[in-house]
Amino acid sequence: MSFSLAHLSDLHLPPTQTDVSWRRLNGKQFLAFLSWRRKRHRVHTFQPMAALLADLASYAPDHIALTGDLVNFALPAEFRAVRQWLDQRGAPTDISVIPGNHDLTAQVSWQDGLGQWDAWMRGDAGGARGGAECFPFLRRRGPLALIGLSTAVTTRVFSAAGQLGRPQLDRLGKLLAETSREGLFRVVLIHHPPVMSRGGERKALRDRAAFCAVLKRQGAELVLHGHHHVTSVVGLSGPNGTIPSMGVPAALATTEKPEIAGWHLHRISRTNACWQLTTLVRRYDSASDSFRQAAEWTIDLPLAQ
């Protein structure tokens, strides 16, 4: 059986003028708004959107994972706009969403904020709604166990760091053990990368060592993240070998600094001896206004023992 999973991240859906009133912004939101006006409005645009949706449709993935930063300033109008966008993409059961740091730039009520995306962040068993208690969620899809985490925390000005916290890490360990016994291909969705990379501590996952310790003890088959807007592949230590951790560019980026828009298609199949993961790297070409193949690789991963 083969299963295809599309991975997109950092949509930063461009706001309309009516979405943003600078008079209603707090300190950090106001600085984010200035950054948007100065440069970021030229980076994240609707230009690649039609090509992105056409490319996704051509591959018809079995499921789509969105790993955070869907908005820019965490304004209620932005959350509603993303919900409308998600509604147009398909059933909530076919799309899994986790938040990123931009989605919690400021404290917003659950109803006006992340709660707008509740249907796309709800695990198969339902569970508590609101705040950190929502995560991790577990969704079983074909041979996959999709485990969604939240690293989104409200931070001081000029910080884009993330944190999971001990309760979430403890629940993650239990879900990884449970789905390992079921023989599922465990995909962990997280916004901040699990290793230090671009931006240093200011943009890092604060408890990345504790997160990696859970993976080393319980294992996983794949970690998907966003945050740094670049294609990346690193190996994490697991009980049965190396766990690939992969990041993607911002889905609507129109510049090559750091990387132009892209998304990944992961095809997962199982043999008697191993899991086989084939990843297609799709990248936007502004000259043709289309997405093209940039790379492809295949990794054999051991079955959980």
pLDDT band at 129 (very low <50, low <70, confident <90, very high): low
pLDDT at 265: 98
Retrieve residue 44's tokens: 């994240």
Query: What are 177-226's pLDDT values in tens digits?
Result: 999 999 999 999 999 999 987 778 888 999 999 999 999 999 999 999 99
Other CB atoms within a 10 A radius of the CB of residue 97 amount to 25
pLDDT at 19: 61
* Dist. CA 178–CA 195, nearest whole Å: 25
Burial pattern 124-148, b for ≥16 Cβ within 10 A else e, equals eeeeeeeeeebbbbbbebebbbbbb
Question: Percent of the chain, pLDDT > 90?
Answer: 72
Query: What are 53-74's pLDDT values in tens digits?
Result: 999 999 999 999 999 999 998 8
- Long-range pairs for 22-28 at CB < 8 Å and ≥24 separation? 24/75, 25/73, 26/106, 27/157, 28/105, 28/106, 28/156, 28/157
Q: Return all residues near 184 (Cβ < 8 A) that are at least 6 apart.
A: 140, 143, 144, 145
Tell whether the model's pLDDT for residue 45 goes beyond 70: yes
Q: Which domains does the chain have, with CATH numbers?
A: 2-17+24-302 (3.60.21.10)
Q: Return all residues near 120 (Cβ < 8 A) that are at least 6 apart.
A: 66, 86, 92, 95, 96, 97
Q: Of 9-23, 35-49, 205-219, 280-294, give the lowest mean pLDDT range.
A: 9-23
pLDDT band at 157 (very low <50, low <70, confident <90, very high): confident
Retrieve residue 48's tokens: 């690649």
Tell whether the model's pLDDT for residue 43 goes beyond 70: yes
Chain centroid to CA 279: how far?
A: 16
pLDDT at 132: 60
Question: Percent of the chain, pLDDT > 70?
Answer: 91
Angle in degrees, CA 66, 71, 73, rounded to 5 = 150
CB 77 within 8 A of CB 19: yes
> What mean pLDDT comes out for the span 16-22?
61
Tell whether the model's pLDDT for residue 128 goes beyond 60: no
Tell whether the model's pLDDT for residue 23 goes beyond 90: no
Query: What are 83-112's pLDDT values in tens digits?
Result: 999 999 989 999 999 999 988 877 888 998
Average pLDDT, the chain: 91
pLDDT band at 39 (very low <50, low <70, confident <90, very high): confident
pLDDT at 144: 98
β-pair type (262-270, 274-285): antiparallel
Query: What are 3-12's pLDDT values in tens digits?
Result: 999 999 999 9
* Dist. CA 220–CA 226, nearest whole Å: 18
